[in-house]
Amino acid sequence: MAFAVDSRRVGEALAAVAFTAVLVWFGTGLFPLWPLLWFAPLPVQLFALRGRWWSAAVTAFLAWSLGSLNLWHYFSTALRAPLAVRVEIVAFPALVFTLAVLLFRALVRRGACWSALLAFPAVWVSFEYAFNLTSPHGTAVSLSYSQLNFLPVLQLASVTGPWGISFLLLLFPAALAIGIHLHDTEPRQAVRIVSATAGLVVLVLAFGALRLAQPPPSQKVRVGLVASDLPANLGVANAGADTERLLHDYAAQAEALAARGAQAIVLPEHLGEVVDPIAASADALFQSLADKTGSTIIVGLSHVSSPEMYNQARVYTPNAPVASYNKHHLLPPFESRFTPGAALTLLPERSGTWGVAICKDMDFTQLSREYGKAGAGLMLAPAWDFTLDRFSHGHMAVMRGVESGFSIARAARGGYLTVSDDRGRILAETQSNSALFATLVADVPAVHDTTVYLLLGDWFAWLVLAALVFMLAQLFRAKSSDALRD
């Protein structure tokens, strides 16, 4: 009989691991299916509420680890991360998930179900926020990016930043798990918890629907984007003849985009290397083109200005001095030799204020908030993705627009040419390998929108941290007939 019971429990554990791992695998990663993550933790949570703490811990860790292996190939081939780093990337979030499950289990079994409901997402969001503050990769681990295609929920970012979306994602399965667990013993409590959570989800969806229903501003700017994934154009062109050839090719494409009415034209990041004083020839090429066409042209270059090197966007505005923006957030180890920038680049235009950022800069909420506070209604972003991450990384910038109230025109090699508005709607998009030189022209609103998140910043993340401290205290205060061990 004992063997039969143990076999049944092992079977339940394996089923929980399998279901959660599959939902995490397809609900996160490079091309996430947004509905799946709303249910991913549920099998492990249900198992944890019925099993011993150590079996719950093992099950949770295995489930999240296996699901997170969906990025193993990306980290090993595209980012070329060492084995130890790849193991850490998989294991550390799995450990956080395990701690969240154990805290959830302990609070439910001690009768503190409301605290358990909040504690589960609070642990994860606290981890996301701490990672954002301390890591060179910013918001990269946030589960909120899995919801980029779920536009009504995406609008929550305008109030809470990405933290509120991740919180809601994990609150929902926690409520279902508590409701199922209490269904037979405390049905009224189960109904209250599930109903309150469902009501919150409906409220968020209603807010999102209302925000999406607002008519877009009539003031628009025509933007043009161009990128080439030809093998000869994929690296950073060497200083001298190679860079000169490539820039002339791109200049011809930019002139064609200007002929189609593009007022702002964005070229990709790191096209080639220019060294002072030779950089003046590149400036002359694009400045003359800007003066001739009346278009503002943004060109991504590796600029060597001894003794410094910058990942730089050169900005050519008609009949104005050349401006520049130096990338703030550099990708280690690929850009370790570059000096990070510290200033914003703002372009006052009749349509509103435009801002300039480069690729990974748009992974960080704070820099985007600084542009939002400066009144930017349109961000122009040269970029360079790794092909595999063209959706996941290429669209992170979309959330920055929702948070801080601006549209985005992003031109990436190895990715997408993307134009999005301040509601996260993709207005136009094409892959950079869709032609020898892929181009895109689109009309985009350039009017700044003030959001709650822009005004109050990471208020929700700090609220979650405070709530987590309270709930940890609750864990030790609550009376229980069942401690962490059975």
Give the residue-averaged pLDDT of 196-214: 98
User: Residues 332, 465: one domain?
Assistant: no
Q: Cα separation of 138 and 398, whole Å?
A: 15
Query: Within a 10 A sphere around the Cβ of 151, how many other Cβ atoms?
Result: 17
Q: Cα separation of 226 and 434, whole Å?
A: 11
Share of the chain above pLDDT 70, in %: 97
User: Residues 205, 269: one domain?
Assistant: no
Residue 302 phi, psi (nearest 5): -90, 110
Most confidently predicted of 109-113, 259-263, 471-475: 259-263
* Whether residue 2 has pLDDT greater than 70: no
Q: Which residues are within 8 A (CB) of 375 and not within 5 positions of it... i.e. 6 or more apart?
A: 352, 353, 448
Q: Cα separation of 47 and 16, whole Å?
A: 7
Residue 484, in any domain of the structure: no
Count the alpha carbons within 13 Å of 225 in the hemisphere toward its beta carbon.
Answer: 33
Output the pLDDT for position 1: 43
Identify the domain containing residue 188 by its residue range: 2-214+458-477
Residue 375, in any domain of the structure: yes
Strands 220-227 and 407-413: unpaired
Burial class (CB in 10 A: 0-12, 13-18, 19+), 476: exposed
Output the pLDDT for position 480: 45
User: Residues 129, 270: one domain?
Assistant: no
How many residues comprise the chain? Answer: 486
Output the pLDDT for position 280: 85
For the segment 337-369, what is each residue's pLDDT rounded down to a tens digit?
Answer: 999 999 999 999 988 999 999 999 999 999 999
User: Residues 160, 61: one domain?
Assistant: yes
Residue 143, in any domain of the structure: yes
Residues 399, 400, 401, 407, Cα dihedral to 10°: -110
Give the residue-averaged pLDDT of 296-301: 97
Q: Which residues are within 8 A (CB) of 93 and not within 5 positions of it... i.e. 6 or more apart?
A: 64, 68, 127, 141
* Whether residue 124 has pLDDT greater than 50: yes
N-to-C CA span, the chain: 20
* Whether residue 482 has pLDDT greater than 80: no
User: Residues 82, 200: one domain?
Assistant: yes
User: Residues 364, 401: one domain?
Assistant: yes
Q: Cα separation of 486 and 484, whole Å?
A: 7
Query: Within a 10 A sphere around the Cβ of 82, how many other Cβ atoms?
Result: 10
Residue pair 357/371 in contact by the 8 Å Cβ criterion: yes
Residue 452, in any domain of the structure: no
For the segment 368-406, what is each residue's pLDDT rounded down to a tens digit?
Answer: 999 999 999 999 999 999 999 999 999 999 999 999 999
Residue 451, in any domain of the structure: no
Count the alpha carbons within 13 Å of 471 in the hemisphere toward its beta carbon.
Answer: 29
Give the residue-averaged pLDDT of 232-250: 86
User: Residues 203, 241: one domain?
Assistant: no
| Domain count along the chain | 2
If phi over 0 gives left and psi between -120 and 50 gives alpha, with beta otherwise, what is residue 359?
left
Which stretches within 76-112 are classed as H helix? Answer: 83-109
Q: Cα separation of 164 and 148, whole Å?
A: 13
Q: What angle do CA 120, 176, 14 make, to 5 degrees?
A: 80
User: Residues 207, 257: one domain?
Assistant: no
Residue 162, in any domain of the structure: yes
Q: Cα separation of 434 and 430, whole Å?
A: 7
User: Residues 27, 167: one domain?
Assistant: yes
Burial class (CB in 10 A: 0-12, 13-18, 19+), 400: buried
Output the pLDDT for position 90: 94
**pLDDT tier, 216 (very low <50, low <70, confident <90, very high otherwise):** confident
Q: What angle do CA 226, 227, 228 make, to 5 degrees?
A: 140
User: Residues 191, 262: one domain?
Assistant: no
Output the pLDDT for position 158: 98
Residue closest to 444 by CA, chosen among 420, 416, 425, 423: 420
User: Residues 102, 251: one domain?
Assistant: no
Please give the single-letter amino acid code of residue 243. T
More confident residue, 259 or 351: 259
Interhelix angle 83-109/162-182, nearest 10 degrees: 50
Buried b (16+ CB within 10 A) or exposed e, 445-472: bbbbbebebbeebbbbbebbbebbeebb
Residue pair 374/346 in contact by the 8 Å Cβ criterion: yes
Q: Cα separation of 161 and 328, whole Å?
A: 20
User: Residues 339, 437: one domain?
Assistant: yes
Residue 258, in any domain of the structure: yes
CATH number of residue 238's parent domain: 3.60.110.10
Q: Cα separation of 259 and 88, whole Å?
A: 50
* Whether residue 8 has pLDDT greater than 90: no
Q: What are the Cα distances from residue 439, in Å, to 221, 229, 234? A: 16, 12, 16
* Whether residue 62 has pLDDT greater than 50: yes
Residue 243, in any domain of the structure: yes
Residue closest to 102 by CA, chosen among 168, 58, 137, 37: 58
Place of tokens 């189609």: 260
